Chains A and B, each alone.
Chain A
Amino acid sequence: MINALKKVPLLVPLVLVMAILALSTDTFLSVGNLENVLVAAAILAIPGVAMTFCLAMGEFDLSIGSTVSLAGVACCSALIAGLPLAFSLLAALGVGAFIGLANGLVITKLGVTPFIATLATMVIVRGASLAYTDGHDQIVSSPGLKYLVAGRPLGIPMPIVLAVAVAALAWWTINRTRFGRWVCAIGSNRDAARMSGLPVDRIRIAVYVLVGLSGGLWGLLISGQLQKGNGQLGLGFELDAITVVVLGGTALLGGRASIIGTVLGAVMIETIRNGLNLLNTPPAYQRISVGLLLIAALALLALRRRERRGAGPNRVPARVQESAA
């Protein structure tokens, strides 16, 4: 139990926040409200899980919010043009994957730092989305697209099914596959990874494609919810996606990944948002609270990292016993 708490430190504050909300509001613990929280958390967890790979690799992707917009627009305009649903969904995912590939190539082949490269694609993609829609909503009425967010296979809300599947696959990848180990190795020391024979650039590109794909899926969920696409969707979403990862304990400097932490981070953010809503706090304050959370989580991580790794190579001379050979 104590071990579990150490691995997922977010558990304690999360339970605390929930307890406070349960006591201070009448509605928080209602089944309908809890389901709202979990569905919102599930939608946020999907890009969060992909972003976990990126942060574990020591990098991040600011363009995901714009990807949400362009992917939603791609799907909606395909539907409006009368193309089949499956094609429209694939168009959105394809847009996401393409943006990810572009990010990956610019970063690895042109040597642009991730911060600047994805900041630039963020603006470019947002601009493309605005230009394509000319500022108008692309309104659709698609039960198929709606099913992605509102469907209930076996009575379970579809976003939760998707998030659980994505998170399980990601956990498996990080902890049980060569690719996951490689990602953490690159995040820990990229030069050492290269000198260990790892195909570093290919791995980095793959991770950006993953994040792009997740942005595409996120766009489908958002557009499905609203039954429209436009150039304004997904504004500021990149911060949400990064915040849930950091809240979950995946260090911003890379080397480690906690998928369970990311999922709980998404639950945490959406619980706080929901609580602020129930307490009639204006939306502007919700933004402030997300920003504050990000800073608090980073400060805690920095503290833990200092404890774990030491400031220098020989800061804590470990006196060790011979382990059983």
Chain B
Amino acid sequence: MGSDPPLRGDQALLEVDDLTVEFPGIRALDSVRFDIRPAEVHALVGENGAGKSTLLKVLGGVHRPSSGEVRLAGARYRPRRPADALAAGIAVIYQEFNLYPDLTVAENVFSGREPHSAISRGIRYAEINRRTSDLFTVLGVDIDPTAAVGGLTVSEQQLVEICKALSVDGRIIVMDEPTAALSADEVTQLLGVVRRLRDEGRSVVYVSHRLDEVFALADRVTVLRDGRHIRTCDIADTDPDGLVRDMVGRDVESVFHRDQMSEGKVVLELAGVSAGRRLRDIDLTVRAGEVVGIGGIAGAGQPELSQLIFGALAIDFGTMSLNGEPFKPRNPGDAMARGIGFLHEDRKAAGNLPDLSIRQNLTISVLDKVRGAFTRLLAPAKESDVYAGYHRRLNVKATGPDQLIGQLSGGNQQKVLLGRALAPGGKLLLLNEPTRGVDIGAKAEIHRLINLLTADGAAVLMVSSDLPELLGVSDRVYVMAGGEIVGHLTGDDRTEENVVACATTGRRVFSEELTKR
């Protein structure tokens, strides 16, 4: 494929040669090569299923290669368990953190290696707290070592994981999608931390779907596709379009392309809605045929707002109306019966039914539609019809309708769950992070689908922490902070600067008022 600069053996800290990893029936990595130099940020990109996670898990001592070799500082590196990798100075931070929520930050950082008194065996808390706090100083962040990890934000937990890697003096720190769940601000902070790590002489392998981060951060980039090595080059020698081409093996049309909306009648209206301390005095409207985005830093109440509309969170004050009629759902079943479809932001925790097939996952909300009229029994033929319809629209890549959903790539899982949200045929869709952890090809398809749905007259309320998506896909954007709506951006006001300013500085921007002036 692309031409690579020749590797000089003395330059590489870690070298991967001809690495092949096979699982029953699947070759996850096929003769892959990869190398890491001292004090560099090396980005690893590729679509879901390209083999990035497998490569990380080989480095981290989780998977063992079927053939090929990994060398660390010239010596053969064959970790047999995660502890071996740590001992060799390679720390892998997986997307799902390995933290104990009930323990303190310092206890987590030194978990398994607690310095303790020789006599009483008691942990030296003063020491671990001090050392943890020193490490945070190195990272340039401020987190209390004695706080319980469960109470931290996702981004702070990420920093605890990084701190853990530093505490074992990790020379190579591997991060898998570190920004997937972070807000724009937190991403900026994390990028700063990664740069500090590099300046300290450590090497970072950075796996991300977000190419803007890759270009902001990386010294070199390696592209994997279908388990094969496609290209390794200096970041200066490529551009986003080129990387996307390498990742998908074809040209992808501009990801965010939104047709002009025609304003329809109001579908959903919230007036002065509050729920506990999480949502305060929310006013909001969504019209037929438009995509309304909800932005803000993580934890500002965005998912709670959509859950409230879906009946999964009780409303304390205020009123909602749906198609002009009062609307007060007691549970998600109520909301669905009124034609609302819902996509949860966390596929694993509240999306997938992992023991069920993709067809069963798709039809679970609409089993009434696939029952015999007289027998009331599930009719497999009807179920297959429903599946076939969505399968074509969503372009799910699977071996067949009976494949278990857990065996699909993230993007395809997401398409199935999107199908579940659409299946009730509702005219209002609440989509939370519709493309989180989804590869570029699937992302474009999902955006195209949203476009089609609104063209058909559906109203979409989309929560997204991905700023380009939020601004590119939405016709209007509400920004939330601290459970309140602090901004409403339309037209030319829809800029990253406005979203970030509203979300973080307490400034309020309401487009209607601007236009009145």
Q: Contact flags (1/0) for B319-358 with A, using CB distance below 8 Å?
A: 0000000000001110111000010100111111111100
Which chain A residues (111-152) contact chain B, with CB distance < 8 Å?
none
Q: Whole-angstrom distance between the alpha carbons of A317 and B55 in the complex?
A: 12
Asked if B368 is at the interface of the complex by the 8 Å CB criterion, the answer is yes
Partner of A255, one of B96, B344, B356, B365: B356
Enumerate chain B residues within 8 angstroms of A256, measured Cβ to Cβ: 355
Write out the residue numbers on chain B whose beta carbons fall within 8 Å of the beta carbon of A54.
Answer: none
Whether A323 and B398, one on each chain, are in contact in the complex, defined by CB atoms closer than 8 angstroms, is yes
Contact partner, A199, options B23, B96, B331, B413, Cβ 8 Å:
B331
Q: Is A212 an interface residue (CB 8 A)?
A: no
Q: Which residues of A contact B399 (CB under 8 A)?
A: 318, 320-321, 323
Q: Is B371 an interface residue (CB 8 A)?
A: yes
Stretch at the interface among A7-15, A190-198, A214-222, A232-240: A190-198
Tell me the complex Cα distance, A40–B399, Å. Answer: 44
B377 within 8 Å of A (CB atoms): yes
* CA A315 to CA B351, docked complex, whole Å: 18
A309, B354: Cβ atoms closer than 8 Å: yes
B335 near A184 with CB under 8 A, answer no
Is the Cβ of B332 less than 8 Å from the Cβ of A185?
no
Across the interface, A318 reaches (CB within 8 A) one of B96, B388, B407, namely B407
**Chain A, Cβ-Cβ closest to B393:** A325
Distance between A119 CB and nearest chain B CB, rounded to angstroms: 24
A231 within 8 A of B: no
Distance in angstroms between the alpha carbons of A322 and B69 in the assembled complex? 33
Smallest Cβ-Cβ distance to B350: which chain A residue: A191
Contact among B227, B391, B410 with A313 in the assembled complex (CB-CB below 8 Å): B410
Distance between Cα atoms of A323 and B333 in the complex (Å) = 32
Q: Do A178 and B378 have beta carbons less than 8 Å apart?
A: yes
Q: What residue in chain A is nearest B50 (Cβ atoms)?
A: A317
Does B191 count as interface, using CB distance less than 8 angstroms? no
Is residue B367 contacting chain A, with contact meaning CB distance below 8 A? yes
Q: Is B364 an interface residue (CB 8 A)?
A: yes
Residues of chain B in range 393-407 having any CB-CB distance to chain A below 8 Å: 396-401, 403-404, 406-407
> A32 at the A/B interface (Cβ < 8 Å)?
no
Partner among A176, A312, A321, A325 whose Cβ is within 8 Å of the Cβ of B377: A176
Q: B31 within 8 Å of A by Cβ?
A: no
Q: In the complex, which residues of chain B have a beta carbon less than 8 angstroms from the beta carbon of A319?
A: 26-27, 49, 226-227
Q: How far is the CB of A187 from chain B (nearest CB, A)?
A: 7
Within 8 A of A (CB), among B36-88: 48-51, 53-54
B106 interfacial by beta-carbon distance below 8 Å: no
Q: How far is the CA of A102 from the CA of B358 in the complex (A)?
A: 35
Instruction: Indicate if the CB atoms of B377 and A192 lie closer than 8 Å.
Output: no
A196 touching B364 in the complex, CB below 8 Å, given contacts A188-B355, A189-B350, A317-B54: yes
Chain B CB count within 10 A is highest, among A181, A192, A194, A255, for: A192
Proximity bits, B93-120, A CB within 8 Å = 1, else 0: 0101000000000000000000000000
A176 with B353: CB separation less than 8 A: no
Q: Across the interface, do A323 and B401 meet the contact criterion of CB distance under 8 Å?
A: yes
CB of B354 within 8 A of CB of A316, answer no
Alpha-carbon gap, A256 to B96, bound state (A): 26
Residues of B within 8 A of A314 (CB): 48-49, 53, 409-410
B420 close to chain A: CB less than 8 A: yes
**B333 & A317 in contact (Cβ 8 Å cutoff):** no
Within 8 Å by CB of A178, from B312, B347, B368, lies B368
Let me know if A188 and B353 touch, CB within 8 A. yes
> Please, what's the 1-or-0 string for A65-100, where 1 marks a CB less than 8 Å from any CB in chain B?
000000000000000000000000000000000000
Q: Which of A172, A188, A197, A316 has the most CB of B within 10 A?
A: A197
- A313 contact set on B, CB distance < 8 A: 347-348, 406, 410, 413
CA distance A187 to B53 in the complex (A): 28
Distance of A198 Cα from B367 Cα, bound (Å): 10
- Cβ of A249 to closest chain B Cβ, rounded Å: 13
Q: With A185-B364, A310-B406, A321-B399 in contact, do A192 and B350 touch (Cβ < 8 Å)?
A: yes
- Does A318 contact B365, Cβ atoms closer than 8 Å? no
Contact status B378-A189, CB under 8 Å: no
| B409 and A318 within 8 A (CB) | yes
Specify the chain B residue showing the minimal Cβ separation from A179: B367
**A317 and B368: CB pair below 8 A?**
no
Please state if B378 and A177 are interface contacts (CB–CB under 8 Å): yes
Can you name the residue of chain A whose Cβ is closest to the Cβ of B341? A197
The answer to whether A322 and B333 touch (CB under 8 A), given A178-B367, A188-B356, A189-B353, is: no
The docked-state distance in angstroms from the alpha carbon of A310 to that of B354 is 10
A195 touches B332 (CB 8 A): yes
Are B342 and A195 touching (Cβ within 8 A)? yes
Report whether A317 and B28 are in contact in the complex, using a CB–CB cutoff of 8 Å.
Answer: yes
Answer yes or no: A308 CB below 8 A from chain B CBs. Answer: yes
In the complex, A136 Cα to B97 Cα: how many Å? 58
Question: B408–A316 contact, CB under 8 A?
Answer: no
The answer to whether A317 and B51 have CB atoms under 8 Å apart is yes
Instruction: Tell me the smallest distance from the CB of A287 to a CB of chain B, in Å.
Output: 32
Complex Cα spacing A322 to B400, Å: 8
Contact A184 B355 (CB under 8 A): yes
When the two chains form their complex, are residues B360 and A181 in contact, meaning their CB atoms are under 8 A apart? Answer: yes
Contact between B404 and A309, CB atoms less than 8 A apart: yes
Contact status B332-A316, CB under 8 Å: no
The answer to whether A309 and B406 touch (CB under 8 A), given A178-B368, A192-B350, is yes
Q: Please judge, given known A-B contacts A181-B367, A199-B333, whether A316 and B227 are in contact too, CB under 8 Å.
A: no
Q: Does B121 contact A (CB under 8 A)?
A: no
Say whether B392 faces chain A, with CB atoms less than 8 Å apart: yes
Given A192-B350, A317-B28, A320-B399, 17 additional A-B pairs, CB 8 A: A177-B378, A178-B368, A178-B376, A178-B378, A181-B367, A187-B355, A188-B353, A189-B351, A189-B352, A195-B312, A255-B355, A309-B406, A315-B53, A316-B26, A318-B49, A320-B398, A323-B401
Q: List 16 A-B contacts (CB under 8 A).
A: A181-B360, A192-B349, A194-B312, A195-B332, A197-B331, A254-B355, A255-B356, A309-B354, A309-B355, A312-B94, A313-B347, A317-B48, A318-B407, A319-B27, A319-B226, A320-B407
